[in-house]
Structure formats: C-alpha cells, structure tokens
Amino acid sequence: MKVPLLKVDKLTKHYPLAAGFLTKTVPVLRAVEDVSFSLEAGETLCIVGESGCGKSTVARLLMRLVDPTAGRVLMEGTDIAGLNTRELRASRRRMQMVFQDPYSSLNPRLTAGQIITEPVENFESLSRKQRDALAADLLRKVGMRPEMMHRFPSEFSGGQRQRLGIARALALRPSLIVADEAVSALDVSVQAQILNLLLDLQQEMGIAFVFISHDLGVVEHIGHRVAVMYLGRVVELAPCEALFAKPVHPYTEALIAAAPVPDPTRVRLEAPVEGEVPSPINPPSGCAFHPRCPLAVERCRIEIPPLVSMPDGRSVACHVRSDLERAPTAQFSRSA
C-alpha cells in the first residue's frame, strides 16, 4: 500500500493553564481535538477557520515544535514523535516552515545570502563560492536578483522578505512546506504574486503544502483540498472546488456566505457568523458550533458529531447535514 507523504492521526493538543488560587483542578485549554488528515506528495491542503481555532497549533505539532497530548504525525510512514534529536534534524530537511511575519522571522544582522543558505550550513559546511552559488540559485527561484544576497532584511519590502522566507525554506529541497498565514501580512497584489510563486515552485519541485489561512479567497486560489476548523476540530474536509461549490457543514456555509466576492477588496473573515466564538477552555457540549448554528437540534447539544465520509469524497462533522447527505446509502444498507 502506498504510504502518504504526511498522515495526521487523531492529533490532540491540550494546554494546562495555571490553576486558580483556591481550585485544585487545573483548567485545560483544548487547542486541537482529534484532528486527522493525510497529504500526498505535491498536494496542497489548506486549513482555514477563525482566529483561535487551532490552525497554528496544528502547524507546530506537524513540525514537532510542540508535542501532542495525543495522536500521531507520520512523515512518510515514520512517527515523528519517535525520532531522536539527530533523526528529527534529518526529518526537518524534508519539512520546512514559512511564517506569517516577514518582519520578525528574519535575523536582521545577517545578509539575505546568509539567511537563505543557513539551513544548508546547519548540515554541511560550504565554501564562500558554494554559498554564493547556492544563494544566487535560491534568489532566482523566488524571483529575486542574485546581487540582493549582500543586502540586509531592513532593505527589503514585505513581499521581498516573504520571498526570502520561502527561499530559506527551499534551501534543503523539502518535500513538504508548512506555511502559516504566509501571505496574511502582505498587500493584496503582493499576496497574489507570492501565491503564484508558491504554485510555480510546487509545479517545478513537486512540493506539498499545508497552507494555513483565515482567508477563504487565498485558500480558493491555492488549495487542492480544504480542512475547515472550528474550536480545535475539523468540521469539514473537502476537495477545494466541491467545498466552494457546495459547502455542507453549516459553519463552512456561513464562512463562504460571509466571504466577499473575490478581490480586489478582500475582506477578512474575522467574525463571519453571528455570536462569539466560544472559549476553548470551556467548549460547548456536543457539537461546539451548536450555540451559533441555525440548524441545531437537541442531539447537537449532547453528542459530538464524528467526521463522516460522504459519497462525494468529502467528510463532514454535522448530525443534521451528514444524515441528509448519507440518506440514500444508509437506507440501502439497512434494507440489505
């Protein structure tokens, strides 16, 4: 059987918070609950959802920057939790991360050339000539001029800095890049350039992306599949076209309904649905979306809906909608 590039299995991250002065029990913040998905080589999976729903925590778990409370991350079939320091270093060659803030993620005291070749120099020592050749090659790959290698981060625009962040991520020729809000801090026109650069690099180098964004417009542009998160859980996972053509989960529906017509006046999806996002410290019982959901029935207040596969290849965690979508097959199997 073919092993997927990345497999995430029931990943969960709880953060214990400081206990109150008089209480003994430590409250727990449920940042990520029971998240599962897989990713093939060269594929882009987008993770979308409102601020605080656990997207960055998933990214940190994938890179093993934090350890999971439960669940596993398998990279090419290997559980990254079982790796020792040396093996983890080696696995980081294959998984790289691009961060949101192109201003704070680059060391201001290093030149662009030093910044982008540093990941390689962590593994092997390069001569001056080799380093310059590598820097020139990486800069060209991200659409920048080789002579820019001598400049410092402060001399670049936001878009150029994000290109440097990408060049740095490419240096070790990874098979997976995890990009956490990688274009969110950029102007709309620059966003489009960076997204197109990522698409070109994917074509050329066969890189897979886990692309995290709160912006559905960006996701529609770049995603093959989309996972919609709400309060730590995946509520819908679908091929990109299917998700935008026909969202099934009421939360996805609300997100898409609130999303503006594509560009140029991109609006952020900070609060697309009525009501507040509940706290992950004390999440609602049953389906966490039920207090905001127009379709909620009694069962939604009691039972957590599992993520159920639909006949059209998507998965949805909704008692009301997944029953409707599944109705024909469910009836068939009962009478058989």
Q: Which positions touch Mg ion (CB under 5 A)?
A: 55-56
Smaller CB separation from ligand ADP, 32 or 142: 32
Residue 4: which of Mg ion, ligand ADP, none does it interact with, CB under 5 to 8 A by kind? none
- Closest contact distance (angstroms) between CB of 29 and ligand ADP is 5
Stretch binding ligand ADP (CB under 6 A), from 44-52, 73-81, 265-273, 324-332: 44-52
Q: Does 269 bind ligand ADP (CB under 6 A)?
A: no
Angle at 45 between CA 62 and CA 316, to 5 degrees: 100
Query: What does the alpha-carbon distance between residue 247 and residue 297 come to, in Å, rounded to a whole number?
Result: 20
Q: Among 49-57, 70-78, 136-144, 185-193, which window interacts with ligand ADP (CB under 6 A)?
A: 49-57
**Residue closer to Mg ion, measured from CB, 101 or 121:** 101
Find the binder of ligand ADP among 280, 283, 286, 305 (CB under 6 A). 280
- Residue nearer to ligand ADP on the CB measure, 18 or 336: 18
Beta carbon of residue 275, minimum distance to Mg ion (angstroms, whole number): 21
Q: Which does 217 bind (CB under 5 to 8 A by kind): Mg ion, ligand ADP, none?
A: none
User: How far is 144 from 136, CA to CA, in rounded Å?
Assistant: 9
- Closer to Mg ion by CB, 58 or 176: give it: 58
Q: What does 148 bind: ligand ADP, Mg ion, none (CB cut-off 5 to 8 Å by kind)?
A: none
Q: Report d(CA 69, CA 60) in Å as an integer.
A: 13
CA distance 89 to 253: 41
In degrees, to the nearest 5, what angle opens at C-alpha 306 toward C-alphas 305 and 307? 120
Interface positions, 10-39, toward ligand ADP (CB under 6 A): 15, 29, 31
Per rule CB under 6 A, is residue 54 in the interface with ligand ADP? yes
29 binds, among Mg ion, ligand ADP, none (CB under 5 to 8 A by kind): ligand ADP
Q: How far is the CB of 48 from Mg ion (least distance, A)?
A: 11
* 55 scored as a contact of ligand ADP (CB under 6 A): yes
Instruction: Say if residues 7 and 40 touch (Cβ distance below 8 Å).
Output: no
C-beta closer to Mg ion: residue 130 or 184: 184
Residue 53's contacts (CB-CB under 8 Å, 6 or more residues apart) are 229, 230, 231, 232, 277
Whole-number minimum distance, CB 49 to ligand ADP, in Å? 6
Q: What does the alpha-carbon distance between residue 177 and residue 93 come to, in Å, rounded to a whole number? A: 10
Residue sitting closest to Mg ion (CB): 56
Closest to ligand ADP by CB, 120 vs 231, is 231
* Binding partner selected for residue 162 from Mg ion, ligand ADP, none, CB under the kind-specific 5 to 8 Å limit: none
Binding site partner of 174, from Mg ion, ligand ADP, none, Cβ cut-off 5-8 A by kind: none
Partner interacting with residue 53 (select from ligand ADP, Mg ion, none; CB below 5-8 Å by kind): ligand ADP
Residues in 311-330 that interact with ligand ADP by CB under 6 A: none
Q: Are 144 and 108 in contact (CB under 8 A)?
A: no
**Which parts of this chain interact with ligand ADP (CB under 6 A)?**
15, 29, 31, 49, 51-57, 280
